[in-house]
Amino acid sequence: MRKTNKCLLNITLVCLILLASLVPALAKDKEFDEIVKFIEKTYHAKKTGIPMLGIANFALKFAHPAGVKNIKVAVFEDQNFTSVNSGTNFELTIQKIVSQNWQPLIRVFSRKDKEWTYVYVKEENKDTKLLVVTLDQHDATVVELKANMDTLASWVQNPDSFDKMLNDFGFSNRNKHKNKDDSFADSFADSFGEFFHIADKEANSNDNKSLASTSTNASANSSSTSNTSSELPILKTSKNKH
């Protein structure tokens, strides 16, 4: 009986500690939740469930692989975001919710194609928070990532360290990658780049409007266009001409 009491006491204590650790997280940053609520209410949209995300986030409270401390993701797939004035409402609301506390990094929107992308950044002690909001006619995604960028960057630079960590946890198949470029961390680095890749992937294949007419050799009545296709993934924001 005494053993059971002790066990219950321990469990209660652990629960209280966990709750205490959750409270500050809940108290901070309402932006993510407010944006998600706005999308749900305004467009009557339903979130797509992401399996294991809750568990992963819980694990991130105790361990910070690659410097990532928290990640919130809300995905809305195959919804109708084409309602009247939806774009204007979306723009105004995002600016109202986010602009006070976050620094805008990238804002790309096309009223013609009904596509909106916002990337905001915020410093929090030694950590950096990124807030990414995208909305098009059928899909929307809201992501908030809190990470120590130094750790994350060094991990991206040295992908072997993460592979080694996974190996230690028994995920030995990661070492099967013979080519360094194919390693898990490299693919993450690419994904991170894609994360910033605002324009459509098609943009690389399409013509980009060039400012080549600024050429010193250009004649007064000339203007030209040229193709741009850079391999760099980071912050590539080429404009897509339709």
Partner 1 sequence: MKRKTFNMLRSLLLIYLLTLPFTSLVVYGQDAKLQLGKLNDLESKASEVVDVTLDGKTLQMASKFLSKKRSADEAKVKDLINGLKGIYVKSYEFDKDGQYSLADVETLRTQLKSPGWQRLVGVHSKKDGETAEVYIMTSGDNVLGLAIIASEPKELTIVNIVGPIDIDKLSDLEGNFGIPSLGFEKEKNQERNK
∠ CA(178), CA(63), CA(68), 5° rounding?
70
Applying CB under 8 A, the span of 38-46, 133-141, 150-158, 164-172 interacting with partner 1 comes to 150-158
Map residues 72-111 to x or -, x wherever contact with partner 1 holds by CB under 8 A. -------------------------------xxxxxxxxx
221 binds partner 1 (CB under 8 A): yes
Contact 123, 101 (CB under 8 A): no
SS3 120: strand
191 binds partner 1 (CB under 8 A): no
Could you tell me if 144 and 130 are in contact, meaning their C-beta atoms sit under 8 angstroms apart?
yes
| Residue 21 touches partner 1, criterion: CB under 8 A | no
CB neighbourhood size of 81 (10 A): 21
- Looking at beta carbons only, is 158 or 173 nearer to partner 1? 158
Please tell me the distance from the alpha carbon of residue 230 to that of residue 4, in angstroms, as a whole number: 64
As a whole number of angstroms, the longest Cα–Cα distance in the chain is 94
Q: Which of 128, 137 has the CB closer to partner 1?
A: 128
Residues that bind partner 1 (CB under 8 A): 103-113, 121, 123, 128, 149-150, 152-154, 156-157, 186, 189, 192-193, 198, 208-218, 220-224, 226-232, 234-239
